[in-house]
């Protein structure tokens, strides 16, 4: 179906993706997993989670291959690629207007809400990021890559993980430091908040900071919002666009609260996004922030697409330190 893997769409730590066509003429994306992970849990996770999901904002699994050492997943082809192509487009070759950005944000939130509350079994994705948001021919977003997902009872408040995995910059702090709080669906809420931060380019000043340290919660965002000033979020000409930017910024700040208890559910996130911006209030100034040595900042906030295994151990003490004021 791929004509000997002729058209490569991309690659990552999991393997490579190729464009293919079924005998019916239906276009597909074939994700060929690396042989080293041929019998790994990621492959089983993808099939057992995404195979049971049918939602407009979740990528559709068409089929899979498990022959000898080869493992492949076949999905519907998404002609507009993944969201990171538009978020991290430094040459501005690809761009999205504010209405489209907002539409994508809302529909991704609906997809996550369905995973958390719309299935018989709660599905925690654990790897929400621009690279895993695919866009169809009408720019309808589809959440993809369920290799790190975990199934749990719908009424379960917390999950037990021996190894936390995710992508640096999007992974919730409690996955790295369990003293922050219990691991739950709020980890996906945090990652969604960071997705909004990336879409708004709010973290661009973090990598330009020349001070001794950079703060994970950018204080200048709070200062600007509390003073009623506009935040520089790129080319904004219309008041409606400014309202969209402000709304997405406030929602992002709620989602990336340090304590998972302070983050809203995806039900509440959708309510805020679809409501009037004038009714939104800014979360309290954070009493806890993440401090990182300057040489670690770039690797934390840049557009990494590499999902990693984050072992909960003292090895991460040189990456993240929690400071309480």
Query: What one-character-per-residue DSSP string does 21-61 give?
Result: E-TTS-EEEEEEE-GGGTTSHHHHHHHHHHTT---TTBPPE
Predicted confidence band of residue 178 (pLDDT cuts 50, 70, 90): confident
pLDDT at 218: 54
- pLDDT tens readout for residues 251-307: 999 999 989 999 999 999 999 999 999 899 888 776 554 443 333 333 334 345 565
The answer to whether residue 171 is domain-embedded is yes
Do 69 and 92 lie in one domain? The reply is no
For residue 241, is pLDDT > 50? yes
In a domain, 301, yes or no: yes
CATH number, position 264: 1.10.510.10
The 10 Å CB-count burial string (b at 16+, else e) for 274-293 is eeebeebeebeebebbbebe
Q: What confidence tens digit (pLDDT) does each residue in 25-42 have?
A: 999 999 998 875 444 667
Domain contains 311: yes
In a domain, 243, yes or no: yes
Task: Please give the residue that has the higher pLDDT: either 169 or 22.
Answer: 22
Beta strands in 118-216 (DSSP E): 121-124, 133-135, 141-143, 150-153, 164-166, 213-215
In this structure, are 70 and 157 located in the same domain? no
Rg (CA), the chain: 20
- Tell whether 16 and 151 lie within a shared domain: no
Task: Answer for the pair 231, 202: CB distance below 8 angstroms, yes or no.
Answer: yes
Q: Are residues 166 and 295 in the same domain?
A: yes
User: In the chain, how many domains are there?
Assistant: 2
Is 3 inside a domain boundary?
no
Highest average pLDDT, of 91-105, 123-137, 201-215, 232-246, comes from: 123-137
Task: Write out pLDDT tens, residues 34-74.
Answer: 875 444 667 877 787 787 788 999 999 999 988 888 889 99
The neighbouring-strand residues paired with 8 are 18
Mean pLDDT of the 110-118 span: 95
Helix (H, G, I), strand (E, B) or coil at 177: coil
Query: Do 249 and 276 lie in a common domain?
Result: yes
pLDDT at 38: 43
Q: Which residue has the higher pLDDT, 224 or 138?
A: 138
Same domain? 139 vs 168 = yes
Most confident of 5-19, 179-193, 227-241: 179-193
Whole-number pLDDT of residue 67: 84
Q: Judge whether 129 and 170 are in contact, CB under 8 Å.
A: yes
Tokens of 100: 């489209």
Q: Is 37 exposed, middle or buried (0-12, 13-18, 19+ CB in 10 A)?
A: middle
pTM for this prediction: 0.82
Catalytic residue set: 127
pLDDT at position 150 is 87
**Is 1 a member of any domain?**
no
* pLDDT exceeds 50 at position 5: yes
- Give tens-digit pLDDT for 136-148: 999 999 999 888 8
Residues 13 and 143 in one domain: no
- Is 317 found in the same domain as 292? yes
Same-domain pairing of 159 and 278 = yes
Domain final residue, candidates 47, 76, 105: 76
Using alpha carbons only, what angle is made at residue 56 by residues 145 and 183, rounded to the nearest 5 degrees?
45
Residue at 198 is within a domain:
yes
Q: How confident is the model at residue 90 (pLDDT cuts 50, 70, 90)?
A: low
Contacts of 162 (CB under 8 A, 6+ apart): none
> How far from 256 is each of 94, 188, 286, 289, CA to CA, in Å?
27, 10, 10, 11
Residue where one domain finishes, among candidates 57, 76, 95: 76
Q: What is the mean pLDDT of the chain?
A: 79
Is 2 inside any structural domain? no
CATH number at residue 45: 3.30.200.20
Tell me: do 49 and 128 sit in the same domain.
Answer: no
Beta-bridge mates of residue 63: 74
Q: Which domain holds residue 20?
A: 8-76
* Strand blocks (E) in the chain: 8-12, 15-21, 27-33, 61-67, 70-76, 121-124, 133-135, 141-143, 150-153, 164-166, 213-215, 288-293, 308-310, 321-324
Task: Give, for 125, the enclosing helix (H) or strand (E).
Answer: none
Q: Which of 60, 76, 92 is the last residue of a domain?
A: 76
Is 163 found in the same domain as 104? yes
**22 and 164: one domain?**
no
């Amino acid at each position: 179906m791929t004509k000997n893997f002729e058209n490569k769409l991309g690659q990552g730590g999991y393997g490579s993706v190729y464009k293919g066509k079924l005998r019916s003429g239906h276009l597909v994306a074939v994700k060929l997993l690396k042989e080293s992970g041929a019998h790994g849990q990621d492959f089983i996770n993808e099939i057992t989670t995404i195979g049971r999901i049918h939602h407009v904002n979740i990528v559709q699994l068409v089929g899979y291959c498990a022959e000898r050492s080869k493992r492949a997943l076949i999905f519907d082809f998404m002609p507009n690629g993944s969201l990171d192509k538009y978020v991290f487009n430094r040459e501005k070759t690809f761009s999205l207007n504010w209405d489209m950005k907002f539409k994508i944000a809302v529909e991704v939130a609906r997809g996550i809400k369905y995973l958390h509350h719309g299935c018989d079994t709660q599905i925690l994705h654990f790897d929400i990021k621009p690279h895993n948001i695919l866009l169809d021919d009408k720019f309808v977003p589809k959440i993809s890559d369920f290799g790190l997902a975990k199934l749990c009872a719908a009424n379960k408040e917390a999950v037990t993980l021996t190894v936390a995995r995710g992508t640096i910059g999007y992974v919730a702090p409690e996955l790295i430091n369990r003293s922050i709080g219990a691991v739950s669906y709020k980890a996906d809420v945090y990652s969604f908040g960071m997705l909004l931060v990336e879409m708004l380019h709010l973290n661009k000043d973090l990598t330009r900071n020349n001070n001794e340290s950079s703060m994970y919660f950018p204080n200048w965002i709070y200062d600007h919002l509390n003073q009623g000033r506009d935040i520089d979020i790129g080319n904004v000409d219309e008041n409606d666009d400014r309202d969209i930017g402000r709304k997405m910024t406030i929602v992002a700040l709620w989602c990336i609260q340090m304590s998972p208890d302070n983050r809203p559910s995806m039900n509440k996130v959708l309510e805020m996004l679809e409501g009037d911006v004038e009714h939104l209030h800014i979360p309290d100034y954070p009493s806890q922030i993440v401090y990182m040595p300057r040489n670690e900042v770039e690797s934390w906030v840049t557009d990494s697409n590499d999902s990693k295994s984050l072992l909960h151990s003292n090895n991460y003490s040189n990456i993240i330190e929690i400071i309480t004021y």
